[in-house]
A and B are shown apart, each in its own frame.
Chain A
Amino acid sequence: MSDKVDLKKIFFNPFSKDNPVIVQVLGICSCLAVTAKLEPAIVMGISVIAVLAFSNVIISLIRNTIPTNIRIIVQLVVVAGLVVIVDQLLKAYAYDVSKQLSVFIGLIITNCILMGRLEAFAMSNKPWPSFLDGVGNGIGYTIILVIVAFFRELLGSGTLLGIQIIPQAFYDAGYVNNGLMILPPMALIVVACIIWIHRIYNKDLQED
């Protein structure tokens, strides 16, 4: 696990080939609920990267002292502590976004990406690879979040990050924002389309 090639793999695999959302199917809940606008999606992505990276490192440091019977509770407490820090930071410095994200920051605790990575990677690896794994998976998650939010905000409200993108002339000519894109079910369909396209190019992931 210590030579360079492996570290690179650990970091870059989650971007596409081993993406936490569309391949491992973890962390769907928050992915769908916060993507109606681009800004909360980016904030959510950054929060997840931070929590995931640091919880991976902490768990990896104490992995040899955790009794296996109660490991889930230990992991939950570590994650919950980090999430509380993120929550308080957001409330202090980005109050509007934290209002929009409402309960979903708290729900990072039960985001399956965290538990999945802690169980599958941090419990059996050294801190540095665990850190890279955490950041890599966090970025993989953020990529999907941003793609989904991009389409939903562009088609649903004609804006990106709150700035009007679709020119007024379009609206005068009869173009109407697709209100359906704002509704939660459309997030599922956008993710499904991403999975579809992704699997066309990654034939080994297809199920029969």
Chain B
Amino acid sequence: MDEINLFIRSIFIDNMIFAYFLGMCSFLAVSKNVKTAFGLGIAVTFMLVISLPVNYLLETYVLKQGALTWLGDEYSSIDLSFLSLIMFIAVIASMTQLVEMVVEKYAPALYSQLGIFLPLIAVNCAILGGSLFMQQRNFDSAITATCAGAGWGIGWLLAIVAIAAIRERLDAYSNIPKPLRGIGITFIITALMGIAFMSFLGIKI
């Protein structure tokens, strides 16, 4: 039950975009139409679901203080946590490359849809942010980490599709002051949506 709770929390309350502002760069750059936004959202979700459990295992069995005990008692005092940033980003970058190759080989249709977005994901803050939050919150199993990853990914997907849908209609139906057009108004919409998402705060499941 805890996992489901965490999953729902990660989608709505701890939403990556509206609560932490992670992955804003691609969020702003790729939200001009719903179709590409959806493609990127799926790719981000996918990467979060894969990279979080891998990084969790890495953290628990290699990096944390005392994590190397399984090698023998003389290793129990080693603390490699200062390496965690480099390890996480290396895992994410190589996973992206790997996923790109696998998708290209076995699902060319999906590959041509995601094409340009896949390599970009390595530098999406939401992915690394997910791993760092995972480290901070001491999740108790790889399954919990996967659930949180899926939740964050779907929350991100939800946010980018919503904003893309609004932006698509914005130009046709509204008269925005000229200096505010494009990026300026997108910021304000995101802020308003963020305030709306705050109403989920305090909901207990």
Asked if B142 is at the interface of the complex by the 8 Å CB criterion, the answer is no
Task: Please report which residues of chain B, range 92-144, place their CB below 8 angstroms from some CB of chain A when the two chains form the complex.
Answer: 93-94, 97, 119, 122-125, 127-129, 132-133, 136
B195 near A102: Cβ-Cβ < 8 Å: no
Asked if B162 is at the interface of the complex by the 8 Å CB criterion, the answer is no
Asked if A109 is at the interface of the complex by the 8 Å CB criterion, the answer is yes
Asked if B4 is at the interface of the complex by the 8 Å CB criterion, the answer is no
Task: Please report which residues of chain A, range 76-112, place their CB below 8 angstroms from some CB of chain B when the two chains form the complex.
Answer: 76-77, 80-81, 83-84, 87-88, 102-103, 106-107, 109-112
B28 near A25: Cβ-Cβ < 8 Å: yes
Contact flag A28-B21 (CB < 8 Å), given A76-B93, A199-B179, A208-B178: yes
Mark B163-199 against chain A: 1 for CB-CB distance below 8 A, else 0. 0000000000000011111111101101110110010
Task: Please report which residues of chain A, range 161-208, place their CB below 8 angstroms from some CB of chain B when the two chains form the complex.
Answer: 183-189, 191-192, 195-200, 206-208
Asked if B20 is at the interface of the complex by the 8 Å CB criterion, the answer is yes
Asked if B22 is at the interface of the complex by the 8 Å CB criterion, the answer is yes
Asked if A66 is at the interface of the complex by the 8 Å CB criterion, the answer is no
Asked if B205 is at the interface of the complex by the 8 Å CB criterion, the answer is no
B180 near A72: Cβ-Cβ < 8 Å: no
24 residue pairs bridging A and B, Cβ less than 8 Å apart? A28-B28, A29-B21, A30-B125, A73-B94, A76-B90, A76-B123, A77-B86, A84-B86, A88-B82, A102-B136, A106-B132, A107-B22, A109-B85, A110-B129, A112-B125, A115-B123, A185-B191, A187-B21, A188-B21, A188-B190, A188-B194, A196-B184, A199-B179, A199-B180
Contact flag A81-B86 (CB < 8 Å), given A26-B25, A196-B180: yes
Contact flag A107-B132 (CB < 8 Å), given A72-B122, A184-B19: yes
Of A26, A200, A207, the residue contacting B182 (CB under 8 A) is A207
Of B21, B90, B177, B178, the residue contacting A184 (CB under 8 A) is B21
Q: DSSP class of B's interface residues: helix, strand, loop or mixed? A: helix
List the B side residues contacting A208 at CB < 8 Å. Answer: 178, 181
Of A84, A184, A187, the residue contacting B85 (CB under 8 A) is A84
Of A72, A185, A206, the residue contacting B179 (CB under 8 A) is A206
Asked if B203 is at the interface of the complex by the 8 Å CB criterion, the answer is no
B125 near A29: Cβ-Cβ < 8 Å: yes
A25 near B25: Cβ-Cβ < 8 Å: yes
| Nearest CB of chain B from residue A88's CB, rounded to whole Å | 6
List the A side residues contacting B183 at CB < 8 Å. Answer: 25, 195, 207
Chain A interfacial residues counted at CB < 8 A? 45
CA of A183 to CA of B90 in the docked complex: distance in angstroms? 33
B128 near A110: Cβ-Cβ < 8 Å: yes
CA of A185 to CA of B188 in the docked complex: distance in angstroms? 9
A195 near B184: Cβ-Cβ < 8 Å: yes
List the B side residues contacting A33 at CB < 8 Å. Answer: 20-21
| Nearest CB of chain B from residue A154's CB, rounded to whole Å | 19
A195 near B187: Cβ-Cβ < 8 Å: yes
Asked if B23 is at the interface of the complex by the 8 Å CB criterion, the answer is yes
List the B side residues contacting A115 at CB < 8 Å. Answer: 123
CA of A111 to CA of B23 in the docked complex: distance in angstroms? 9
B25 near A27: Cβ-Cβ < 8 Å: yes
CA of A184 to CA of B190 in the docked complex: distance in angstroms? 11
B187 near A188: Cβ-Cβ < 8 Å: yes
CA of A202 to CA of B190 in the docked complex: distance in angstroms? 24
